[in-house]
Structure 1
Amino acid sequence: MGEAKWLSDDEMAAWQAFLTAGALLDRRIEEQLKSEADLSHLQYEVLVRLSAAEGGELRMSELAGSVVTTKSGLTYQITQLEKAGLVRRRSCAADVRGVYAVLTDAGRDRLRRAAPGHLGVVRAHLIDVLDGDQLRSLREGLGEVVRRLSGG
């Protein structure tokens, strides 16, 4: 393996800003969702993905990929959401190993009630802090990172 290419001062500053901003924003989102909707950030994202899916359901493996978590991590979250009556599981008729997560009416209602507060936090601490050029750069730069890490 070759010699490590150390980060320049600007590169290190960018890396540290990325880490700190991500952690602080995630903390704010977790606090808001827990206090206002009794949901974790990951649970909220699961409900968002299910609400956007045709019929309000997704295969668990597809859902795990879209919320970027492990299958076991997703299984735990789905179990918690199921206990709360926000989702249910459905077996796949064509594949006995396949399981779908299905959004319930209660889950759709919880999401509808949680969304305004969540959006308020995202706006106040990220979107409205940056100007149009900064948002475009963020979208393009992080979009490229996602594409490369996703193999696309």
Structure 2
Amino acid sequence: MDDVTTAQQPERPPAPAVIDVPGPWLTDRQQHVWRSFLMMTRMVDDQIERDMQRSGDMPFAYYLILAMLSEAPDRRLRMNKLSEVVGFSQSRLSHAVTRLEDLGWVRREQSSADKRGQYASLTPAGLATLERVAPSHAEIVRSIVFDPLSPRQLDALEDIVRTLIGAGPPEERDRHARNIHPDLID
């Protein structure tokens, strides 16, 4: 019976402990910092997502859409612009806006100038939801990102973030800065 079981399972070579390919690898310190950075961003993302589910009964993606609409002129944006602002594909945004419409928080409107264009508009119910949830969101961001840092560490973090953003491809950096953080454009 052992022969039959063994014969049915293909033999697998043991996994190599280290990839042995020449190339520009990270130093041990760089690898440690990189993995720590990944761990930190995942932990922050996970905590924000959990808090948004708890306090707002919605995914953070929905909160982000509501927040960006609340900051837009007349609390509305063209769908393609909203897609760019929140960093979602058109398809992902369309699905999210459909769900937000079902909740009564967002309304789609046809463009009067361009019949093919659509706007996403924040409803009064959507604004009320955002106003209810935003304080909890600000508190969780403050508690997990800013409270653990001294003023000097916060300055260092800001310098690091600006440096990494500045090192990115100019078209990506400028697109994100225009949409999210205009004062980062030099």
TM-score w.r.t. the length of structure 2 is 0.74
Say which of 15, 18, 26 aligns to 2:37: 18
Q: How far does residue 16 in structure 1 lie from its aligned partner after superposition?
A: 1.0
DSSP-derived class of the 1:96 partner: coil
Query: Based on CA coordinates, which of the two structures has the bigger radius of gyration?
Result: 2
* Aligned ranges 1:15-94 → 2 under 5 Å: 15-94=34-113
Percentage of pairs with the same residue: 34
Q: Distance in 2 between matches of 1:12 and 1:86?
A: 43
User: By how many angstroms is 1:144 displaced?
Assistant: 4.1
Out of 126, 130, 140, the residue aligned to residue 159 of structure 2 is 140
1:39-74 superposed Cα distances (whole Å, 9 cap, x missing partner): 111110111100011100011111111111111111
Kindly tell me: are residues 70 and 137 of structure 1, through their superposed partners in 2, closer, same or farther at Cα, counting changes over 3 Å? farther
Distance 2:155 2:94 in 1: 35
CA distance in 2, matches of 1:71, 1:7: 36
**RCO comparison, higher one (Cα < 8 Å, 6+):** 1
Aligned residues: 150
Deviates more, 1:47-56 or 1:133-142: 133-142
> Residue 138 of structure 1: CA displacement?
2.5
Q: Which amino acid aligns with 1:86?
A: W
Structure 2: gaps (5+ residues): 1-21, 175-186
Q: 1:123 to 1:73 in 2, by over 3 A?
A: same
Q: Structure 1 residues 17-26 or 81-90, which shifts more?
A: 17-26
Tell me the SS of whatever aligns to 1:58. Answer: strand
Give the equivalent residue in structure 1 for 2:184. Answer: none
Q: Cα offset for 1:103? A: 0.2
